[in-house]
């Protein structure tokens, strides 16, 4: 079984419900082991949109990287994700961050995720569940990546009392 780390995010509708629904849908293909807290983070790329909720989970899978990607995309579609601008609003987003120590790059999938070391919304939750996890290309722990990174935006621990009733 491969150990995988996935990043999940949402900034449309009831963000927490979207993320936990996606986690449940991963269950047939991924045996979840750890789930970080939810973090509220400012958008990257397109700033004129609602803030995101994000978490990172780890698990074990027998799925190949490509099949895991297909499962993630299927869940996104089933939940109602539609195309839009790059870095734009999303009902749900599921990214493969790490797959064992695999390093691969295809037109459809790059592992480790090519920008995870630049994103506070992946590093902070990763540090919570696995601070000593080493990036196989950069040869640094996720804790060290965060410590050495420039300002990566705002992130705060999320409380369910923060979710607006209108979501």
Could you list the active site residues? 81, 90, 93, 95
Q: What count of Cα atoms within 13 Å lies in the side-chain half-sphere of residue 54? A: 27
* φ, ψ for residue 3, nearest 5 deg: -95, 125
CA dihedral 102, 42, 46, 152 (to 10 degrees): -60
Are the CB atoms for 9 and 87 separated by under 8 Å?
no
The tokens of 40 are what? 């509220």
Distance CA 96, CA 68 (A): 8
The tokens of 140 are what? 């640094």
Alpha helices (H) in the chain, listed in sequence order: 15-26, 65-78, 120-129, 142-148
Go through the chain and tell me how many residues it has: 167
Distance CA 43, CA 120 (A): 11
């Amino acid at each position: 079984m491969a150990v995988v780390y996935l990043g999940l995010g949402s900034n449309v509708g009831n963000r927490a419900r979207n993320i936990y629904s996606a986690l449940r849908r991963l269950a047939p293909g991924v045996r979840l082991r750890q789930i970080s807290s939810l973090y509220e983070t400012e958008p990257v790329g397109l700033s004129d949109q609602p803030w995101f909720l994000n978490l990172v989970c780890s698990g074990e899978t027998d799925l190949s990287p490509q099949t895991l990607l297909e499962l993630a995309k299927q869940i996104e579609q089933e939940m109602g994700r539609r195309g839009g601008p790059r870095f734009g609003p999303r009902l749900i987003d599921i990214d493969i961050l790490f797959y064992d120590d695999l390093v691969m790059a295809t037109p459809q999938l790059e592992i480790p995720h090519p920008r995870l070391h630049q994103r506070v919304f992946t590093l902070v939750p990763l540090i919570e569940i696995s601070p000593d996890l080493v990036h196989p290309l950069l040869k640094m722990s996720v804790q060290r990546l965060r410590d050495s990174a420039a300002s990566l935006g705002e992130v705060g621990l999320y409380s369910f009392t923060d979710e607006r009733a209108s979501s």
